[in-house]
Every structure is written in structure tokens, then in C-alpha cells.
Structure 1
């Protein structure tokens, strides 16, 4: 079905503690807009699936690994993780109550209803940066997809996740040999260096092939065992 280029239809608009968040329909796509900046839509999902798959592959044959997904978004990462029986506990951290509502009983439920019904899955309504700084829980994988990645944060404060202190918190939230996977709208050699400097090993970047333009990527690093 061809994509419509008509004027987008606003389905819901909320003002929250972090500013305005909007869900709109544009042709067959659903789009999330935060403080006037486009965040994501339902057009593809390849990079979100790679985020989850690359983390799992890096864990080798670890039984029933647990995963923390940072950012619910349109639900691609959650849905993809729940489709794989290898994952154990699946925890999603999302700070926007509106986005959680849109998944539980709104237009985005078509993408995530099956995953949310999975006994392994749980959503925490909290800020990701605060959570990794304060949690005593540990995970085998952190799959983080907030804003547009390390090089371009939309919301003030999210860049703290990619700072030395933020990466140290991510390492503490990982079990030995655990994997940090970070989605980015563009490659960031600077962030690769930050991962090495934070003590992560096996640092690498996987790209999503695109017909033109700059590819989305997933940055990966392993906490030493």
C-alpha cells in the first residue's frame, strides 16, 4: 500500500513532565512526536529488531537471559524480544505515561498486545537515566533506544546516559559478560571510544543497510566477565 502524504492526523496530544508528546497518523503510519521533534514511526522496525538480536547473539548460549529495553517507542523492540523464546525476563522502561497508554489500550496496541500479554514482559513507568543510576537489579542485556542516539538527544538530561557516569551505571546494571546495545540514528566513533574508555570490551558497530543516506546503527559493548 503506498504511503499517503496527506496532512497527518493527531490522534492524541499530552502535556507531561517532560513536555509535549503527540501520537499522530500519517497515511498508514503511526508517528510519535516529542516537543515538536519527530522520534519514530511504524514504517520499518529493522533497526529495533537488530538492537535486540545483536544483543542476544553476543550472549552466546546463556540460558534464559534477561533484557532491559530502554524506551518503549512504537513497540518494535518489545514485540521482537517477546517473539523469541530464548529471552527470559523482559523489562521495558518508559517515562512517558501517554506512550504506555497508547500501547495498553490505544492505537499502538496492535503492535504490542501479544508481547504485553507475555508473562515474561513488564513495563516500568520511570526515567531510564534515573533507573540505571539507582536500580539494584542486574540484566544480561541492556537494549537502549532513547532519543536519536548518543550524538543527538532531543530531551535535556538524556545525554547523561552516554556520559562516563551514565555508562558506568549501565555497566553496574549488567551481569558479568552482559551486553550493552545502543541504537543510534547515525554512527558515532566518539561513542565507540566512550565505550572503550568506560571499560567495555568487544566494542563494535552494526549498521542497518539503507538505499541512501546515513544508516541507523547499533553500538555494542560487553561488560568484562
Structure 2
């Protein structure tokens, strides 16, 4: 049904709008849903979360297949609406869980803001920490290492939120990801569509057992998770 002047309750309500170092980020409420918009590009909402949860589970399954790792350490790139973090924290298999988020606004929305209901329990978990940083800077500068790295900061390797993110999916950017992975660690990358070119770049960067797993969605092209096992 078309929206009329009497259907204003169906229009998105802007809860917060901020101009940050990477552009504008907006949190909207649309009915029961909360939505994050970055530079005018829809990123995600609270409607489902199955693909974000599968992102974490696919990484865990790949680690299990490569051998037993007690309390593996997980790095999540992108806090978003909190689906990946909440799912990881609900799984006792994980040890330390770090989430890298570069937008202060997104962090604030979770720390007592409108998205707190999505992540409060996970953020109260002593295994969890939020790192306010650009992911590219973090993987190139941190001394920490992880057993799995789950990336969900763009709509995929071929559809980035900002131009600067494109370097993350290059062979050089993926080498930075490999640097923070322990031997045989897993990289899992969420995407709104498959990217054969990105699969090839993963191989060029030294990742092994590269594959793409489809995740059915309610309508349209399935989401995917690109997976690769790091050197060693």
C-alpha cells in the first residue's frame, strides 16, 4: 500500500545522525526495526541476523574441522547492530571476543543507546571487549593474535561503504588479516553477493581451503560467507 500523509507512522524515524571522520552515520527506527545507514547506504537492520550468526558459526566450524582449539580467540570486524557479537558471546566455545568498530556513534548506540537491547548481555560478558579503531589499522598495528577473524564492515568485497575500505580486500589488505591470525586460523568475510574475484585474491594472499558458503535470505540473491584458512 502506498504511504500517504496519514501513514506517517510507517516512515523511518531518525534517532541519531552524526558526521564522523568517515562520513555520515544514521540510526533510524522503522516500525519495530532499527536501521544503520552510512553515507546514504543501507548497511543493516535488526530484522533477521541469520547471515551474521552464520558468519560466526562458519568460522567456528572451520576451526573445528582443522583440529581442536580450546577457547579460540575471535576478532569481529564491525559491531553493526550486534548480531555477530551477541551470537558469539552466547557460544561458550569462544575464548576472548574482540569487536573492532571505527564509528564512535555505533559504539554509543550499543552502550546505553537504542541498540543496547541487542548487545547488553554480550558486552557484560568478561570475554568481550570493544576496540574503537579502523580495522585496517588494527590488523596492521596490534600485537594481539586470533584464531578466527570475521569481517562484516561492508556489503561485501565489491560493495564497500567507503572507498578506503577497498584496500582491505586486496592481497595486501588480506595479508594484514593473515598477520593477526594464528597458524591455521580462519578468515570469514560476509558479502551480499558472491565474488569469484575475491576468492582468487584470497588464494593469492596465501589463504588455503578457500570456499564460499551461501546463506538463504527471505528474498533476492543469497548472502554468502567467503572462507579461507591462513598459512601454517
Give the TM-score category using the shorter length.
over 0.9
Aligned pair 1:68/2:75, yes or no? yes
Residue 89 (structure 2) aligns with: 82
Single out whichever of 31-40 and 210-219 deviates more from structure 2: 210-219
Whether the 8 Å contact between 2:136 and 2:168 is mirrored in structure 1 is: yes
Shift of 1:212: 3.5
SS at match of 1:176: strand
Aligned pair 1:127/2:134, yes or no? yes
Residue 50 (structure 1) aligns with: 54
Shift of 1:147: 1.4
Gaps of 5+ in 1: none
- Distance in 1 (CA, whole Å) between partners of 2:191 and 2:185 is 20
Shift of 1:6: 1.2
SS at match of 1:85: coil
Shift of 1:38: 0.7
Aligned pair 1:33/2:37, yes or no? yes
Aligned pair 1:21/2:25, yes or no? yes
Whether the 8 Å contact between 2:178 and 2:231 is mirrored in structure 1 is: no
- Distance in 1 (CA, whole Å) between partners of 2:14 and 2:217 is 29
Structure of higher CA gyration radius:
2
Shift of 1:194: 0.7
Residue 111 (structure 1) aligns with: 118
1:107-149 CA deviation, whole Å, 9 max, x = no partner? Answer: 1000100000000000011101111122221100000001111
SS at match of 2:163: coil
Shift of 1:218: 0.4
SS at match of 1:221: strand
Aligned with 2:171 (options 155, 164, 167): 164
TM (norm. structure 1) is 0.96
Residue 6 (structure 1) aligns with: 10
Residue 189 (structure 1) aligns with: 196
TM (norm. structure 2) is 0.93
Residues paired across the two proteins, number: 222
Residue 59 (structure 1) aligns with: 63
Residue 3 (structure 2) aligns with: none
Whether the 8 Å contact between 2:186 and 2:228 is mirrored in structure 1 is: yes
1:160-210 CA deviation, whole Å, 9 max, x = no partner? Answer: 110111011111110001000000010001111111111111111111113
1:38-77 CA deviation, whole Å, 9 max, x = no partner? Answer: 1110011011001100001111121100000000000000
- Distance in 2 (CA, whole Å) between partners of 1:211 and 1:59 is 28
Gaps of 5+ in 2: 1-6
Residue 151 (structure 1) aligns with: 158
Single out whichever of 75-84 and 59-68 deviates more from structure 2: 59-68
